[in-house]
Chain A
Amino acid sequence: MNSLLAAFVSGLIFAVGLGIGGMTQPAKVTAFLDFSSNWDPSLACVMIGAVTMHAVLYRLIRRRSSSLFALAFSVPTRQDIDLRLVGGAALFGIGWGLGGFCPGPAVTSLASGHKSVVLFAAAMIAGMSLYKRLENSGLHHLPISSQDATSRLATPPSPLLQSSQDY
């Protein structure tokens, strides 16, 4: 129960951070991605704030042997570079520039009730499901599969650690 409360508060703070940082405004995201005119570096400030904070706290937290609620840490350890990583990131970037949303802001912005957000988020879920279907029906024959990712988690898979993805 306590761990669920922590997950809820964590999600809430994440959403407020996105909102204050300006990341729920597609115009601000695309203005960051438009280096050629009237560039808005705000998104870089969000990244700097988030990475600085998490880089420090991550190291302090990882000194512990487990998380506070006794769950083992589930942290990705993959270091290989493959086509799926680059190709996936490239496709994501195109969609990001096209729609002005990445997954976190898209879900947070559902609260606004804007039809365009609902449409984007529905398509995003469909894209995730499509990937899942392809993966289940043969994409795992590609060199690096999610099964490999599971075996490369820092901690051995246990009933508490079902995640097969990096993030």
Chain B
Amino acid sequence: MEHFTPLASLIGGMLIGLSASMLLLFNGKIAGISGIIAGTLSPAKNDTLWRIVFVAGLLVGGFLLRLLSPQTFAIGITRSWSALVVAGLLVGFGTRLGNGCTSGHGVCGLSRFSQRSLLATVTFIATGALTVYIINHLLGGAL
């Protein structure tokens, strides 16, 4: 647990919860990032611009982090390009098939005590843990 950052992570999490609450209060929308991104791919009238603007906010936030603290984007793991492509495809396809990702099911869904979201969250943490176990302990830590 040498890299454990309880306070920073708790504060970061609270900001995420605050952001999700803002989007609900002002716009009536749920902050599920995979759904917001996917929604920009198939534009629907009156339901696309806010998504693009939210994603722009994510990017501008990213640029702020880059300016203030570049180590925010340390990768720290070794993955080949083909592994990254497979990973990206699985994340994109899986979040749409399962209707949510870490933010939608993990944060917003659990906050509403949704059983669907609890099951989804337990499932993606379990298969994520199994994948990391295989990479770190059976394949030597890189893929």
| A interface, CB within 8 angstroms of B | 2-4, 6-28, 30-31, 33-43, 45-55, 57-58, 61, 64, 66-69, 71-76, 78-81, 84-104, 106-112, 114, 116-117, 119-132, 135, 149, 159-163, 165-167
Contact = CB atoms under 8 A, between A and B. Distances in A.
Contact of B108 (A31, A49, A85, A167): A167
**7 closest residue pairs by CB, A with B:** A88-B98, A11-B57, A21-B12, A167-B32, A127-B92, A167-B104, A49-B13
Contacts, number: 550
A53 B59 contact: no
B86 A95 contact: yes
Interface of B: 1-6, 8-35, 37-39, 41-42, 44-47, 49-51, 53-66, 69-70, 72-77, 79, 81, 83-116, 119-121, 123-133, 135-137, 143
A72 B29 CA distance: 9
Given A97-B132, A98-B87, A7 B27 contact: yes
A75 B21 CA distance: 12
A23 B83 CA distance: 20
Given A14-B16, A98-B79, A89 B105 contact: yes
B97 A88 contact: yes
Contacts of A37: 136-137
Nearest to B137: A36
Given A34-B132, A124-B92, A10 B124 contact: no
Contacts of A108: 58-59, 61-62, 65
A78 to B, nearest CB: 6
A80 B14 CA distance: 29
A166 B105 CA distance: 9
Given A107-B55, A119-B84, A162-B46, A21 B16 contact: yes
Instruction: Give the interface SS of chain A, mostly helix, strand, loop or mixed.
Output: helix
A91 B1 CA distance: 28
Contacts of B113: 55
A131 B101 contact: no
B75 A14 contact: no
A11 B22 CA distance: 10
A66 B25 CA distance: 8
Contact of A36 (B19, B97, B133): B133
A147 to B, nearest CB: 13
Residue in A53, A72, A130 with the greatest tally of chain B CB atoms within 10 Å: A53
Contacts of B17: 49-55, 57
